[in-house]
Amino acid sequence: MAIPYEFGYVKPTSLQEAIELKGKFQKEARVLAGGTDLVNEIKKGFRVPEMIIDVKGISELSKIEIVNGQLLIGALVTFSDIRKSQVIIDNMNILFEAAGMVASNGVRNRATMIGNICSAVACMDSAAPLLVHEATVHTASMDGKREVKIQNWFVDNRKTAILDNELVTHVSIPIPTVKYAGAYQKMMRYSGEDLSQANVGVLLFANGDCHVAFGSVGPTPKRSLKIENLLKSKGISVATIEEAKEMIETVIAPITDVRATKEYRMHMTKVMFERAMQTAMERIKMPKIITK
Amino acid sequence: MGKITFKLNGETRSILVEPNEVLLEVLRDKIGVKSPKCGCDSGDCGACTVIINGKTVRSCLILAIEVNGQDILTLEGISKHGLSPLQKALHERNVFQCGYCAPGMILSATELMLNIPHPTEHDIKEAIAGNLCRCTGYTPVIEAIIEVTKKV
């Protein structure tokens, strides 16, 4: 039995063609890359489009490369591609780590990181790594190109700053000029196949700076400048990490749902923050960062 | 209705599909390839696993129209010329009971062995983590994969 909703399908071979189609259909067209979210949503009757634009024929969207000190990750890059990319391993260890925890291998082979941030479900694994790395989302439309800073990208649960006539081409991540190391922590019931109940990303820099982001503990993932400033001004120590853990209560707003209670999420976010800090502190001391 | 052409277990197939037809259903109901199963129908259980261009995917989350020009392998393709060494090892150990997860489990292990000929136990657990099973307890599956990959 087919999906009980009808829609059209088109597979453009150039970005220009895809942009024109998105401009024509506006929000009545949805962009298909991996489809692990999109096909599920359509099956459930959630935001069924008139037209599906399959962008898998646009090869320029599948690049992972460094251009002018910026790491570029295209819209067709899957989590499995990220796990196999030496460029990612060498330059964005926290994304490599987080990508390995997304669903299962069979989903990672198909699901894209850009799809993850476009679906923007609050428990997504890509957000914390992109937030701590101060990524920029690049979109294209008939009106031209647009850049949105990742902290402005997530508007609400399942809602982003994308416009109806746009599609996302890639994200860019500035490669820091000082040494750095990231760490990602994800709370789930069992490894290999689960959504996060809470997640934490930290990025430490050799100059004492540090970036911290939380996911699945509010409608949107969140970076906390308050915690970062505390750790930066007082220095990272056992005492300041304890102080920061207390501060987390004022930063995140977890809810109780079928997967965890808000109290458990709050408690575990503090624990995971401490673990992530410890892991990142160990990693930054290594001559070469090893991430599993 | 559009015509798609793809390779299925080494043979070229052409078929007419609507955009709203899912690959799993086209394979099972239109072509008659029955090894991929519908379990959760939402990508969680792995029973619908097939291999496209060397990678395991969830056929319940792929529109049939997307596979135009692709190369699909199912369990029927793996056992075309008799049971594979992995299938024999599973069979000897009497691993599966209901067998519903078996095709997906075998395809996930096949992809693993293509990428890592001598996987660690961790590699094996990671590879089959997305194939849920209610009968085996997983341990005999892992043991069978270890046995086969040690021999090779």
Q: A86 by DSSP, 3-state: which?
A: helix
The C-alpha atoms of residue A286 and residue A74 are separated, in whole angstroms, by 30
C-alpha triplet B113, B117, B120: angle, nearest 5°:
90
Domain range list for chain B = 2-75, 85-151
Instruction: Give the pLDDT score at A289.
Output: 80
Q: Let me know: does B25 contact A1? Beta carbons within 8 Å.
A: yes
Instruction: Give the pLDDT score at A192.
Output: 64
Query: Taking the domain B85-151, which CATH number applies?
Result: 1.10.150.120
Residue A273 has which token pair? 């923050």
Q: What is the pLDDT of residues B49-77, one digit of tens each?
A: 999 999 999 999 999 999 999 999 999 99
Q: Is B146 on the interface with A (CB under 8 A)?
A: no
Q: Is A194 on the interface with B (CB under 8 A)?
A: no
Residue appearing with tokens 């949503």: A41
Report ipTM for this prediction.
0.96
Asked whether the predicted pLDDT for residue A1 surpasses 60, the reply is yes
Mean pLDDT of A169-193: 91
Q: Where are the alpha helices (DSSP H) in B11-84?
A: 23-25, 75-78
pLDDT band at B151 (very low <50, low <70, confident <90, very high): low
What are the structural domains, with CATH classification, of chain A?
8-57 (3.30.43.10), 180-285 (3.30.390.50)
What is the secondary structure of A185-244 as a DSSP string?
EEE-SSTTS---SEEEEEEEETTS-EEEEEESSSSS-EE-HHHHHHHHHH-SSHHHHHHH
Sign of the dihedral defined by the CA atoms of residues B58, A30, A219, A45, in that order: negative
The C-alpha atoms of residue B89 and residue B110 are separated, in whole angstroms, by 13
- Regarding the domain delimited by B2-75, which CATH topology (the fold level of the hierarchy) does it fall under? Ubiquitin-like (UB roll) (3.10.20)
Distance from the Cα of A215 to chain B's closest Cα (Å) equals 21
Nearest chain B residue to A42 by CA: give it: B20
- State chain B's mean pLDDT as an integer: 96
Contacts of B111 in chain A (CB under 8 A): 105
Contact yes or no for B55 and A6 at CB 8 A: no
Single pTM value for the model: 0.97
Nearest chain B residue to A2 by CA: give it: B21
Contact yes or no for B129 and A43 at CB 8 A: no
Residue appearing with tokens 């599906």: A52
- State chain A's mean pLDDT as an integer: 96
Q: Is B46 on the interface with A (CB under 8 A)?
A: yes
Asked whether the predicted pLDDT for residue B1 surpasses 90, the reply is no
Q: What is the pLDDT of residues B121-134, one digit of tens each?
A: 999 999 999 999 99
